[in-house]
Amino acid sequence: MGRFDSTPEKKVHGATIRAAHIEYETKTRCYGHVDCPEYADHIKNIISGEVQMDGAILVVSATGKRLKQVETKVRELLRTYDYPGNDVPIIKSSAHQALDAYITEPEQAVTGPFLVPVEETFPTADRGHHATGRVERGVIRIGDKVEIVGMSGTARTVCMGVEMFRKSLDMGQAVHGFQSGSVRAERG
């Protein structure tokens, strides 16, 4: 968590301004961790779907006196919104163990046509473009034909690369853990 809290913005403003992603693994899963800034303007990112999450963790200092107050308030707030506040685990140890034990994997939509809502595009050093977003449905492999559908019609192209967390992959698919990736396509 230190990587999130060491930014200049956090030090100056007391709030994390830029969203950040890190990746880590447990024995059973690979996680993409999204920093959810305290800064109120970033709530729109969550509502709009720009930041998508399958679960949430609230980290509180276990050495402070406020731990019990936070636990009571969180349970009360969950019950207010018809969640089982009394049944939500309060883990006073490894967050990795809590993730594996209490956050269920969402359904995987690997069948059906490939679909990724494009969040951002940018040119590459060669003749292609990167399109970033979360794979919602299907599978894509390098060399697959791709249709880019949008406000200005449909463009047909070919997938030239797939990445997740800056790692090159042979394919991308709509499975838990493929949080945010990019597909490199040749201009066509």
Q: Which residues contact 141 (CB under 8 A, 6 or more apart)?
A: 159, 162, 170, 171
pLDDT digits (tens, 9 = 90+) for 12-23: 545 544 556 677
CATH of domain 2-102: 3.40.50.300
Taking residues 34-53, what's their average pLDDT?
57
Least confident interval from 17-31, 36-50, 79-93, 146-160: 36-50
Q: Do 120-186 and 2-102 have the same topology in CATH?
A: no
Classify domain 120-186 by CATH architecture: Beta Barrel (2.40)
Cα–Cα distance for residue pair 58/90, rounded to 1 Å: 10
pLDDT in the model for residue 93 = 67
DSSP 120: E
- Mean pLDDT of the 33-41 span: 59
Q: Is the pLDDT of residue 181 over 70?
A: no
Domain ranges for the chain: 2-102, 120-186
Give the span between the Cα atoms of 141 and 184, in whole angstroms: 11
What mean pLDDT comes out for the span 35-57? 58
Strand, helix or coil for residue 115: strand
